[in-house]
Chains A and B, each alone.
Chain A
Amino acid sequence: MRLTVNGRVHDVTVRDDETLLELLRERLALTGTKLTCDRGECGACTVQLDDATVYSCLTLAVACDGAAVRTVEGLAPPGTLSPLQQAFIAHDAAQCGYCTPGQLVAAQALLDRNASPTEEEIRAAMSGNLCRCGTYPKIVTAIRAAAGTESGTAEETIRGA
């Protein structure tokens, strides 16, 4: 099968029981996407599949033939940070960071379909992505900052990519 991941085309042979998450992490070494619940309950494995936001732990790899996948590693070219990633840094929207890749992909997908979401829309769109550190308020702030719906600008960050 052939799929495009973060703009790069991959020809791979997959097992029929292989998940998209396994394909990404184990074959393509894209370990930013995390395995946490393995049953679509937590959102840590969230990736973008064409126009949909999916749990990659529940998505069979074979079903992705011909599809385009975007993971956290594809949010910005290597060595750079997207506005959303910069906002996550500026607003301290990652504590342990384990859920962060899934949060970012879900948030970017939200911004792609709704450039200026309200706080309620953010909460609704993001409530499938669990964070045990409880970073939610900072994530909301970061998304609003990236969307330009938060007053004030993202602070200068000390460390870039």
Chain B
Amino acid sequence: MARKPKAGGFVPTVVEVEGRTETRIVEVPAFEPAPWTDQASLHIVGTNVPRMDAAEKVTGRARYTADIERPGMLHAYILRSTVPRGAVRTFDAAAARAMPGVFDILGPGDAPAKTRLFHRDITYAGQPVAAVCATTLREARAAAHAIVVEYDTLPFAVTFADAVAPDAPSVRPAGNTPAVSPLVIARGDVDAGLQAADVVITREYRTPVQLHTALEPHGAACEWDGDRLTVWESTQGIFRVRADVARALDVPQSNVRVIKDYMGGGFGAKNGAGAHTYVAALLARRTARAVRCLNDREAEQLDSGNRPATVQRVTLGAKKNGTLTAIRLSADVPLGISGWEGGPAQIYHEMYACPNVRSEERFAYVNTSGMQAFRGPGYVEGAFGLESAMNELARELTLDPLALRKKNFAKKDPRQGRPYSGNALLECYEKAASAFGWPPAVDGSPLTVNRQPLTRSSSTPTRTALGRGLACQVWPTGGGPPSYANVRINNDASIDVLAGTQDLGTGSRTVLSQIAAEALGANIAHVRAVIGDTQSLPYAGNSWGSMTTASVGPAVRMAAEDARRQLFDAAAAMLGTTPDTLESRDSRIVVRDTDRSMTFAEVTGKLGNVMIQGKGSRGPNPAGVAINTFGVQMAEVEVDLDTGVVRVLRIVAAHDAGRIINPALAESQMQGGILQGMGYALFEERIVDARFGVALNTSMHDYKIPTMADVPEMTILWADGADSTANHTGARGIAEPPVIPTAPAIAAAVADAIGAVVREIPLTPWRVLGALAAP
């Protein structure tokens, strides 16, 4: 259990960010509120408060970065390399400079080194070569394409095999593989575990490059006022953008203000400043105008990050009763030209109680655009390998795949032996099985001839087959410090919750307001969350890793508790009592067991401009505890045996994320995650032509994401109970978990339907037909 640190002073604490463990030195808060346990009587937390910025969104009033207009604003367009590797031989912008509306052009050598922009050396197709700003975007784009760029081309490597070949071209000067590669993580003795096994299977699985495809592209609008810069940026991390810009342009952080009000999706790709930010800032400084730079759709699909592809060779060993004796993974991951080593291995070590696990991940840089975190990075890819292999193992053992999971349930963190702050995965298994009907009734052949698929309007009879499958997930969701919040009670008793976080569409504004209203005993309609501005708000970290609620939520609660204490102090004097006799609800303070009360507004009215300001911060994580979200998803599919088209009919998802602050918003996020996982399973794949080293499908027509017509019936279930060990709000994260098990569950259902396993996603018709045709 957690040892309570002494208030005041600094202590080390462990924070897991998307599978990466970081130790941070953080200050201990002045006080930590007692956890909201299952017994806590809560009135606003746990209810379906409508999304508090929904009215702005449904009226078109919500202003996104792409909507920012400033007086005299110019538009910038980035010209990108058309070759994957080489050098800019000639760069002639004379004609472009003379074109109408053009104000300025940046080319090779024109940007500070720390922006890493406009190198003459080209290392991937899509690399920024130049930027033009003009009165209109149309003029900027036309001028950019009038720049004459000639390249000396060089041999390139866009596949893992090409990058690691003995005679491979140089992808990056320091080498084609990162220093950590091969990355080996091991516990126990896998060879001994395999020898002890009754059954051993080895399979190879492949996953594609998936593109984030946020509807609002990456973009920034920048405006200088003397030496002070304002950046409007579509970002998941305003403070990180501030740090990036300050460092790259060599200006103090206090001179850079980053604002993000609304954003049109991030999904992991918008975690810092990018070429668009630096281009806008540099051109704004040179032209003394505001400049907006947005990726167009092609640039967004080409060079704004992606989930890297993997090849995973998986070996599982098990006893006849299903007990795992060994898990071995050997994976190849081409990262693109840059990125971090977010490989598929983590989930292999964390999902099941298996004493012998060894993973070896080999990473390579290749001449394609760099990867970025994408919702559940590593775990989504890894789950496809691990969970597909588990399903194949179940078949080999003639065991129910759910029984196999239960047999290998991890009672504690299998990697470090830490207890979990909470783990209701077994409850999730029961809830999902009950809702879905698992195990499916054995009714002979699942083949249903002459059944009309739901989407087909033709009257031609078709042959279809039904199948069902499941897969599980684990994801680190503890969040952690540092994160700060202030709560201000204005003299009309309206309440501002100030936190330097951001709402990606996840509902952070609403959830943080609910936490503040609950802690204050305030009417939620009087509470407003103010977020997304580095100049006026206290620090919060990036909104990534399903961390925001568990990181910022406790800071908001503490600030609200601090504000309530002060409000009660003031009210006690007015009511002629002591603060410990007071309680509040719906913005009214009541003297317990009496009929004496005052509204918040009556108290603050008497205080006049004496402002109540509560301060909160996120305390350290409990030591020696693993904090994860767990879950299982079950899928039912229909496969057209003539065309190979897979249609997902229904998904049942049951997850344990501790307390759910707002079930309606959580359900929306789960549905969205499942659909992104379904796209990954069925359609989504960036295709690079290996002969030319260029991406082929950089439009939304050629890169398919799910549409409304593809949506299955979805049932979202939660395990009961708050996690009062993880933090004092009892909530863990949920953003990424629904993506993780979706693809392997669908693939298992397809295998069930067609009697053959497709080990490569997306499960396109030709792959399905290929599996059907295989002997």
Query: Do the two shown chains form a genuine complex with each other?
Result: yes
**In the assembled complex, B215 has its CB within 8 A of some CB on chain A:** yes
**In the assembled complex, A16 has its CB within 8 A of some CB on chain B:** no
**In the assembled complex, B169 has its CB within 8 A of some CB on chain A:** no
Q: Report how far A97 CA is from B669 CA in the complex, Å.
A: 13
A-B contact count (CB 8 A): 183
Q: Report how far A92 CA is from B700 CA in the complex, Å.
A: 25
Q: Report how far A91 CA is from B337 CA in the complex, Å.
A: 42
List A contacts of B67 (CB < 8 A).
25, 31
Q: A33-B60, A92-B54, A132-B214 are contacts. A123–B711 as well, Cβ < 8 Å?
A: yes
In the assembled complex, how far is the CB of residue A141 from the closest CB belonging to chain B, in whole angstroms?
Answer: 11
**In the assembled complex, B91 has its CB within 8 A of some CB on chain A:** no
List A contacts of B664 (CB < 8 A).
92
Q: A30-B60, A72-B60, A159-B525 are contacts. A96–B52 as well, Cβ < 8 Å?
A: no
List B contacts of A153 (CB < 8 A).
none
Q: Report how far A131 CA is from B136 CA in the complex, Å.
A: 28
Q: Report how far A135 CA is from B671 CA in the complex, Å.
A: 7
Pick from B51, B66, B296, B525: contact of A34, CB under 8 Å = B66
Interface residues of A in 87-104 (CB under 8 A from B): 88-90, 92, 94-101, 104
**Which A residue sits closest to B668, measured CB to CB?**
A92
**In the assembled complex, B718 has its CB within 8 A of some CB on chain A:** no
Pick from A29, A33, A124, A134: contact of B709, CB under 8 Å = A124
Scoring A residues 35 to 70 as 1 if CB is less than 8 Å from chain B, else 0, what string do you get? 111110110100000000000000000000000000
Q: A38-B296, A94-B51, A161-B55 are contacts. A130–B700 as well, Cβ < 8 Å?
A: yes
**Which B residue sits closest to A36, measured CB to CB?**
B215
B699 engages A132 (CB within 8 Å): no
**In the assembled complex, B675 has its CB within 8 A of some CB on chain A:** yes
List B contacts of A157 (CB < 8 A).
50, 54
Q: Report how far A106 CA is from B52 CA in the complex, Å.
A: 24
B504 engages A138 (CB within 8 Å): no
Q: Report how far A90 CA is from B674 CA in the complex, Å.
A: 22
Q: A123-B709, A132-B267 are contacts. A34–B668 as well, Cβ < 8 Å?
A: no
Q: A97-B264, A98-B264, A139-B708 are contacts. A130–B52 as well, Cβ < 8 Å?
A: no
B264 engages A34 (CB within 8 Å): yes
**In the assembled complex, A7 has its CB within 8 A of some CB on chain B:** no
B675 engages A130 (CB within 8 Å): no
Scoring B residues 196 to 232 as 1 if CB is less than 8 Å from chain A, else 0, what string do you get? 0000000000000000111111000000000000000
List B contacts of A11 (CB < 8 A).
none
**In the assembled complex, B730 has its CB within 8 A of some CB on chain A:** no
**In the assembled complex, B182 has its CB within 8 A of some CB on chain A:** no
A73 engages B60 (CB within 8 Å): yes
**In the assembled complex, B297 has its CB within 8 A of some CB on chain A:** yes
Pick from B52, B505, B668, B701: contact of A41, CB under 8 Å = B701
List A contacts of B419 (CB < 8 A).
none
A89 engages B50 (CB within 8 Å): yes
Q: Report how far A75 CA is from B58 CA in the complex, Å.
A: 9
B265 engages A92 (CB within 8 Å): no
List B contacts of A139 (CB < 8 A).
708
**In the assembled complex, B604 has its CB within 8 A of some CB on chain A:** no
Interface residues of B in 21-51 (CB under 8 A from A): 48-51
A89 engages B216 (CB within 8 Å): no
Scoring B residues 107 to 139 as 1 if CB is less than 8 Å from chain A, else 0, what string do you get? 000000000000000000000000000001010
List B contacts of A101 (CB < 8 A).
60
List B contacts of A37 (CB < 8 A).
297, 699-700
List A contacts of B55 (CB < 8 A).
81, 85, 89, 159-161
A97 engages B262 (CB within 8 Å): yes
Scoring A residues 128 to 161 as 1 if CB is less than 8 Å from chain B, else 0, what string do you get? 1111111111111000000000000001011111
**In the assembled complex, A127 has its CB within 8 A of some CB on chain B:** yes
Q: Report how far A140 CA is from B714 CA in the complex, Å.
A: 13
In the assembled complex, how far is the CB of residue A99 from the closest CB belonging to chain B, in whole angstroms?
Answer: 5
Q: How many residues in B have their beta carbons less than 8 Å from beta carbons of A? A: 63
B708 engages A127 (CB within 8 Å): yes
A161 engages B705 (CB within 8 Å): no
Q: A42-B215, A96-B505 are contacts. A36–B297 as well, Cβ < 8 Å?
A: yes
In the assembled complex, how far is the CB of residue A32 from the closest CB belonging to chain B, in whole angstroms?
Answer: 2
List A contacts of B665 (CB < 8 A).
92
**Which A residue sits closest to B503, measured CB to CB?**
A96
**In the assembled complex, A126 has its CB within 8 A of some CB on chain B:** yes
**In the assembled complex, B673 has its CB within 8 A of some CB on chain A:** yes
Q: Report how far A130 CA is from B297 CA in the complex, Å.
A: 14
List B contacts of A81 (CB < 8 A).
55, 58-59
Q: Among the interface residues A73, A123, A134, A137, which one has the most CB atoms of the partner chain B within 10 A?
A: A134
B215 engages A130 (CB within 8 Å): yes
List A contacts of B707 (CB < 8 A).
127-128, 130, 136
B59 engages A36 (CB within 8 Å): no
B58 engages A158 (CB within 8 Å): no
In the assembled complex, how far is the CB of residue A87 from the closest CB belonging to chain B, in whole angstroms?
Answer: 9
List A contacts of B672 (CB < 8 A).
95, 133-135
In the assembled complex, how far is the CB of residue A130 from the closest CB belonging to chain B, in whole angstroms?
Answer: 6
List B contacts of A161 (CB < 8 A).
55, 59
Q: Report how far A7 CA is from B16 CA in the complex, Å.
A: 54
Scoring B residues 661 to 703 as 1 if CB is less than 8 Å from chain A, else 0, what string do you get? 0001101110111111000000000000000000000011100
In the assembled complex, how far is the CB of residue B364 from the closest CB belonging to chain A, in whole angstroms?
Answer: 29
In the assembled complex, how far is the CB of residue B666 from the closest CB belonging to chain A, in whole angstroms?
Answer: 10
List A contacts of B534 (CB < 8 A).
none
In the assembled complex, how far is the CB of residue A137 from the closest CB belonging to chain B, in whole angstroms?
Answer: 5
B216 engages A98 (CB within 8 Å): yes
List B contacts of A25 (CB < 8 A).
67
List A contacts of B258 (CB < 8 A).
none
A132 engages B58 (CB within 8 Å): no
A95 engages B506 (CB within 8 Å): yes
**In the assembled complex, B407 has its CB within 8 A of some CB on chain A:** no
**Which B residue sits closest to A74, measured CB to CB?**
B60
**Which B residue sits closest to A140, measured CB to CB?**
B708
**In the assembled complex, B592 has its CB within 8 A of some CB on chain A:** no
B50 engages A41 (CB within 8 Å): no
Q: A34-B216, A130-B707 are contacts. A96–B58 as well, Cβ < 8 Å?
A: no
**Which B residue sits closest to A35, measured CB to CB?**
B66
List A contacts of B525 (CB < 8 A).
158-159
Q: Report how far A120 CA is from B707 CA in the complex, Å.
A: 13
Q: Report how far A41 CA is from B707 CA in the complex, Å.
A: 11
**In the assembled complex, B57 has its CB within 8 A of some CB on chain A:** yes
In the assembled complex, how far is the CB of residue B74 from the closest CB belonging to chain A, in whole angstroms?
Answer: 13
Q: Among the interface residues A17, A92, A157, A161, which one has the most CB atoms of the partner chain B within 10 A?
A: A92
In the assembled complex, how far is the CB of residue B458 from the closest CB belonging to chain A, in whole angstroms?
Answer: 15
In the assembled complex, how far is the CB of residue A129 from the closest CB belonging to chain B, in whole angstroms?
Answer: 7
A96 engages B264 (CB within 8 Å): yes
Q: Among the interface residues B264, B711, B714, which one has the most CB atoms of the partner chain A within 10 A?
A: B264
**In the assembled complex, B446 has its CB within 8 A of some CB on chain A:** no
**Which B residue sits closest to A17, measured CB to CB?**
B138
Q: Among the interface residues A17, A71, A158, A160, which one has the most CB atoms of the partner chain B within 10 A?
A: A158
A135 engages B668 (CB within 8 Å): yes
**In the assembled complex, B281 has its CB within 8 A of some CB on chain A:** no
Q: Report how far A76 CA is from B505 CA in the complex, Å.
A: 24
List A contacts of B506 (CB < 8 A).
95
**In the assembled complex, B596 has its CB within 8 A of some CB on chain A:** no
List A contacts of B53 (CB < 8 A).
97
7 additional contacts, CB 8 Å, given A32-B60, A72-B60, A155-B50?
A: A17-B138, A31-B60, A36-B215, A94-B51, A123-B708, A123-B711, A158-B52
Q: Which residues of B does A touch, CB under 8 Å?
A: 48-64, 66-67, 69, 136, 138, 212-217, 262-265, 267, 296-297, 454, 504-507, 524-525, 664-665, 667-669, 671-676, 699-701, 705-709, 711, 714
Instruction: List 26 A–B pairs whose Cβ atoms lie within 8 Å, in order of A's numbering.
Output: A29-B69, A31-B67, A34-B64, A34-B216, A37-B297, A89-B51, A92-B664, A92-B668, A94-B54, A94-B57, A95-B507, A95-B672, A96-B504, A97-B57, A97-B505, A98-B214, A98-B264, A98-B505, A104-B58, A124-B709, A126-B708, A127-B707, A130-B215, A130-B705, A135-B668, A135-B671
Closest A-B pairs by Cβ, 9 of them? A32-B60, A96-B505, A98-B264, A134-B672, A97-B57, A134-B675, A72-B60, A95-B505, A127-B709
